Amino acid sequence: MSKLLLASIHDVGPRFEREVDQLATQLSRILGGPKFAMLVVPDHWGEAPLAQNAAFQRRLRDWADQGVEMFVHGWFHKDLSRHSGAAAFKAKHMTAGEGEFLGLSREEAGRRMADGRKLIEDTIGRPAAGFIAPAWLYGEGALAALTDIGFALAEDHMKVWQPATGKVLAKGPVITWASRSVPRQLSSRFFAGLARTFLHPQTVMRIAVHPGDTRLPALIDSIEKTYSAFAARRPAGRYSDL
């Protein structure tokens, strides 16, 4: 496989329209067009239902018509489950209450996946590219449900795979940024700097941004440098290229 850059904007929905516009403009400029994926949340924290926002639905369809891949990104994005053991550690340290699919049963995870898929596919008029859990966190129920629903692709922190077969299509860490505390901001900028130096040999590079990144000029600057560094050495492609 030739080297590839996979870019994505997370948490796309009516709640963050301004931030998504800013990120889409930035990435389009760096990558030479809308060569990125969008991860769509059907009803972010139960406060921004896509189903009731016809204007944003039209925007999603327009982006999809331009070639932007659309992934189902949970339903609420909010984690309301009670956890124990390893799941409790992940829920506390790997996200701020947003690992929606970490503690769901197979039945509930499948229902939300199926509902999200129908809503998004009805909106964009074509199949969704796949499913990516909020915070990239999957419990056993969510992993089982993926095979039931039939998504073409799924992704976590370290890989992209086909749920139907379990085949891993790409390996390696996602470069992303954290905005919710100063230590996390600094550590994510530090890792991005290391990645710009040391990860060029990796075949597939995945770089993901979030609406919250737009609040901090230092993160936007790091995003600019990181995407530019990788885009200079490899083409921006689509997840379907895998």
Q: Are 222 and 177 in contact (CB under 8 A)?
A: yes
Overall number of domains in the chain: 1
pLDDT in tens, the chain (242 residues): 789 999 999 999 999 999 999 999 999 999 999 999 999 999 998 899 999 999 999 999 999 999 999 999 999 876 564 544 444 444 444 445 567 899 899 999 999 999 999 999 999 999 999 999 999 999 999 999 999 999 999 999 999 999 999 999 999 999 999 987 899 999 999 999 999 999 999 999 999 999 999 999 999 999 999 999 999 999 999 999 99
Query: What's this model's pTM, rounded to 2 decimal places?
Result: 0.91
Instruction: Label residue 66 exposed, middle or buried (CB < 10 Å: 0-12, 13-18, 19+).
Output: exposed
Tell me the two tokens of residue 128. 């969704």
Q: What CA–CA distance (Å, rounded) separates 222 from 226?
A: 6
Per the structure, the complete domain to which residue 65 belongs is given by 4-241
Q: What CATH number corresponds to the domain at position 13?
A: 3.20.20.370
The 3-state DSSP class for residue 38 equals strand
